Amino acid sequence: MKLFVGLPALLIPFSLAVGGELRGTGDLGVVVERAEGSVQIVDTSHRTRIGRITGLGDLSHATAVFSRDERYAYLFGRDGALTKLDLLAGSIAKRVEQAHNSVGGAISQDGRLLATSNYTPGGVRVFSAETLERVADIPAEYGNGQLSKVVGLVDAPGQRFVFSLFEAGEIWVADLHDPKAPKVQKFKAGKEPYDALISPDGRYYIAGLFGEEGLALLDLWNLDAGVKRILPAYAKTDEKLPVFKMPHLEGRALVGDYWFLPAVGHHEMLVVDRRSWEVVKRIPLEGQPVFVIARPDDRQIWVNFALPDNDKLHVIDTQTLTVVKRLTPGKAVLHMEFTPKGEEIWVSARDDDRLVVYDTETFEEKARLPADKPSGIFLTARAHRLGL
């Protein structure tokens, strides 16, 4: 493992002050520019770009989490690098090459630990958020000493991380009260869990299954009950379409008594009762949904799509359960992120090299900002939410 401290970063110079005063971080965020291995630092109050950090490696599947004070972003690269970015200095604070193939990470409930979700070598590694020193290693061993790819890693209450093992077909819950001696509980989940989400209250962990119908549900309040299979046959009578991109379950939407979940291989959204886990409605869509994201006040659900419909966005009204607006922000819409209280949404259009900002009440386009093949948009408000 290589550790780099205080690396110089190439960036567009920007001022940390507004009108000569020190600034806060609550309206900042990072936008991944996947082709160039860079991120933009953006200011959502003024809808501006205030910096750019380069030299971040392979960001073809990159995610970010934030420190509790919102000053630092922790970037998880596909090449296994973990980078601590100082949003106020506009620079790389520290960087660790911790694996060879990684698909994301999470930050602990107390903000002191980072966990990485690794394909190669398969497992989870845990680091100090302050120093990026490794404090624990949880190999995803199964069978005859084989290592499984790890997916669906989230933080959970009780200083825990929860994640799924793709080849092993298991869900693991790791208690990190003692970071140097994690306590791991293992549960059979089903064939090939490929992604997962955790409910906003931190109670339910739901993993999608690539190898069979349905979803795997683990109640973190009642672990002794084990994994329950839900929605095992919601579409058995329907003809499945080719799946061009598996939906991202971490783009969760739990509103009141209903889950809003993308239907794999279908042009529809499932509305699922949170108590009975039965489908109560299917909302027709113009494509296969990927991200399903609720506005902070829960009045709207915003949805993007896989090819060939990935230039579209749909907005669903959660009271009428109907599509109330269709938008076309640009080619290859990869991600959306609401401002902290939801009055605006930022959208990345990768193949048009731009970010588009919409007013979520009027659907008016408020701004367009250039970006180099943008994908993930991560705003600092995530620092105070579970599972993001």
Q: How many CB atoms lie within 10 A of CB 219?
A: 15
Structure tokens at 351: 């193949």
Q: What is the pLDDT confidence band of residue 11, given thresholds at 50, 70 and 90?
A: very low
Residue with the two structure tokens 């349905």: 214
HSE-CB of 358 using CA atoms within 13 angstroms: 22
Structure tokens at 264: 């794999």
What is the three-class DSSP state of 177?
Answer: coil
Percent of the chain past pLDDT 90, that is, above it, reads 83
Distance between CA atoms of residues 230 and 87, nearest Å: 41
Distance between CA atoms of residues 318 and 305, nearest Å: 19
pLDDT in tens, 292-341: 999 999 999 999 999 999 999 999 999 999 999 999 999 999 999 999 99
Q: Element (H or E) spanning 171, and its range?
A: strand 170-175
Residue with the two structure tokens 């499984």: 148
pLDDT at position 66, please? 98
pLDDT in tens, 236-256: 555 554 444 455 666 668 899
Query: Peptide bond before 308: cis, by omega within 30 degrees of 0?
Result: yes
Range of lowest pLDDT (15-19, 102-106, 268-272, 383-387): 15-19
Structure tokens at 379: 């705003």
pLDDT in tens, 114-129: 999 999 999 999 999 9
Distance between CA atoms of residues 360 and 343, nearest Å: 6
163 and 150 Cβ atoms separated by less than 8 Å:
yes
pLDDT surpasses 50 at 348? yes
pTM: 0.92
pLDDT surpasses 70 at 6? no
Residue with the two structure tokens 């009108």: 19
Phi, psi of 386 (to 5 degrees): -75, 145
pLDDT surpasses 70 at 105? yes
Give the strand pairing for 268-273 and 258-262. antiparallel
Mean pLDDT of 17-42: 87
Q: How many CB atoms lie within 10 A of CB 288?
A: 25
What residue type is assigned to position 115 of the chain?
A: A
Structure tokens at 193: 């869990």
Q: Element (H or E) spanning 261, and its range?
A: strand 258-262
Distance between CA atoms of residues 63 and 42, nearest Å: 16
Percent of the chain past pLDDT 70, that is, above it, reads 90
pLDDT at position 111, please? 98
378 and 63 Cβ atoms separated by less than 8 Å:
yes
Distance between CA atoms of residues 135 and 369, nearest Å: 40
pLDDT surpasses 50 at 2? no
pLDDT surpasses 60 at 358? yes
Those residues whose C-beta lies under 8 Å from the C-beta of residue 362, and which sit 6 or more positions away, are none
Q: What is the pLDDT confidence band of residue 5, given thresholds at 50, 70 and 90?
A: very low
Distance between CA atoms of residues 347 and 368, nearest Å: 10
Distance between CA atoms of residues 249 and 206, nearest Å: 8
pLDDT at position 232, please? 83
pLDDT at position 266, please? 87
- Cα–Cα distances in angstroms (integers) from residue 188 to residues 194, 285, 311, 361, 382, in the given order: 14, 33, 38, 44, 30
159 and 173 Cβ atoms separated by less than 8 Å:
no
Among 115, 73, 159, 161, smallest CA distance to 381 is for 73
Among 375, 328, 268, 314, smallest CA distance to 35 is for 375
Question: For the chain, give me the number of helices (H) and strands (E)?
Answer: 0, 37
Among 174, 169, 175, 129, smallest CA distance to 149 is for 169
What is the three-class DSSP state of 68?
Answer: coil
